[in-house]
A and B are shown apart, each in its own frame.
Chain A
Amino acid sequence: MKNKPLLTNKRFHLPKNFSKVLILSIILFVISILASLSFGARIIGWNELLDGLFNSDIQTHEANVVRQRMARTVFSVMCGAALGVSGALMQSVTRNPIADPSILGVNTGAALFVVCGITFLNISTASQYIWLALLGAIITAIFVFGIGSIGSGGATPLKLVLAGAATSSALSSLVMAIMIPRSNVMDQFRFWQVGSVGAGNWEVISIFIPFLIVGFLIAILTAPALNALALGDEAAAGLGVRVGTIRLIAAFGGVLLCGATTALAGPIGFIGLLASHIIRLLIGPDLRFVIPMSALSGAIILTISDICGRLLGTPGELEVGVVTAFIGAPILILITMKAKVRAL
Chain B
Amino acid sequence: MKKTYKCEVDCANCAAKMEDAVKKIPGVNDARVNFMTQKFMLDADEERYDEILEAAVKACKKVEPDCEIEIK
Same complex for A and B? Answer no
